[in-house]
Amino acid sequence: MLRKRSPLIICGAFIFVAWNVVLIFVLMKRPSTQGSLDSPDEPGNTGDGAGGSQFGNIMNEVMRVANAFESELDSQKKILLQIQSHWAIWENKGGVTAAKPKSQAEHSAPAVIPILVIACNRVTVKRCLDKLIEHRPAAELYPIIVSQDCGHAETSDMIASYGSQLTHIKQPDLSDISVPPQHKKFQGYYKISRHYRWALNQVFNTFSYSSVVVVEDDLEVAPDFFEYFRALHPILKSDPTLWCVSAWNDNGREGFVDPGKASQLYRTDFFPGLGWMLTKDLWAELEPKWPASFWDDWMRHPDQRRDRSCIRPEISRTLTFGRKGVSLGQFYDKYLRFIKLNSEFVPFMKMDLSYLEKKKYDESFVKEVYGAPVVTVEDLQSGKLSGSGPFRVQYSSPDGFKTLARNLGVMDDLKSGVPRAGYRGVVSFLSRGKRVYLAPPAGWSQYDPSWS
């Protein structure tokens, strides 16, 4: 196809040049519409009276020809740019990558990344919205869409009070959902899943955005929340081994994260949620099989994850303040209320994040984890270990993992065999100021979904 079309493009470029040569010749030779133009230097042309009028006609004609010439050149320039664009496309199709001019890359329009706030019946959504608006660098780059379910009037009024600072949409289907008898008490989870499906369809199919950051109405965001997602947006778009970027660290409690490494990012096989970015392409994959309930655990199943990972931070960029909800405070009192919210602005856009590329990351990660000395929980708790680590605590069974996790103070549940915040089965955290890797034996190859 490239060989057949290339001569056509060359021919088009030749015709373009020839046309402009003819055009210049015609415009330069075109006679005046007001008769012959006498030279202002001829006898009798003194610049007054008729002579002045003739000189003015000359100048008017020159300006008219110049304007026509400029207009035609502008039109032809557009044609040439189209030819140039098609030429680049044919080159790329033929296996030749055309270099993008630096100036074009520098001046390309930045991506618009909308924030979708999932809301229901909590007027405390005001805390979430206030922080989003406070830290938002530009409304046009980060439009806020609040999708409300439940039909709660007071919450609706609160959202509407923000006026043009956000877009307020309402889930139209507020009916009860028919659920299995054993799931009667889980009706709320079914409604949440239905709402997510509707809201994400609005963002991608009605508003036609290409990516979105999803935030629940009980989340407060960090000062560099937008910077974080902006910097990771192109990585998510280009890396097929990733399927989300999350602002959340499941083990991000005070004392379990390194305050000196606010810029450190990790790959994780566990879907964290709680402030996460996905693309339209991923939604096109997930939407046809979207579950009736428990959508977040469904996301953690191997059939959805498909060996892809998410990016997560050392220190969370979101904090949940919603103890009350359909989960009835599950994990909140023991874990979630102690999550540390990042307070230091990290300029991620200026940083080299290439270390997150899978091959590079895996090589470094495996080397560090399995190069660390194996220690016991008792060794860590005795205070006799010198240095800041890293140290490795090893497990080889689901019960072994849960026992060690509980003793070390990190979350002990497994979803389809994947530990929270884990990567390649490894959970990274601080314990008494020392970096610890809770890890399976060397040679790990895959998760066992029965470990749940």
Active centre residues (catalytic): 296
Which own/partner contact pairs does 293-301 have at CB distance under 8 Å and 24+ positions apart? 293/179, 293/183, 293/186, 293/189, 293/190, 293/192, 293/193, 294/186, 294/189, 294/193, 295/192, 295/193, 295/196, 296/271, 297/415, 299/271, 299/273, 300/270, 300/271, 300/415, 300/416, 300/418, 301/416, 301/449
Q: Write the CB contacts of 17 (distance below 8 Å, at least 6 apart in sequence).
A: none
Question: d(Cα 113, Cα 137) in Å, to the nearest integer?
Answer: 12
d(Cα 391, Cα 387) in Å, to the nearest integer?
10
CA distance 139 to 160: 17
DSSP label at residue 29: H
CA 98, 99, 103, 105 dihedral sign is: positive
425, 419 contact by CB (below 8 A) = yes
Separation between Cα atoms, residue 75 and residue 168, nearest integer Å:
43
b (16+ CB within 10 A) / e for 159-173 = beebeeebbbbebee
Q: What is the 3-state secondary structure (H, E, C) of 361-396?
A: HHHHHHHHHHHCCECCHHHHHHCCCCCCCCEEEECC
**Strands ordered across the beta sheet of 391-394:** 391-394, 434-439, 427-431
Nearest-5° angle of CA 326, CA 273, CA 279?
Answer: 125
Which residue is it, tokens 């007071």? 154
**Rounded CA separation 282/269 (Å):** 16
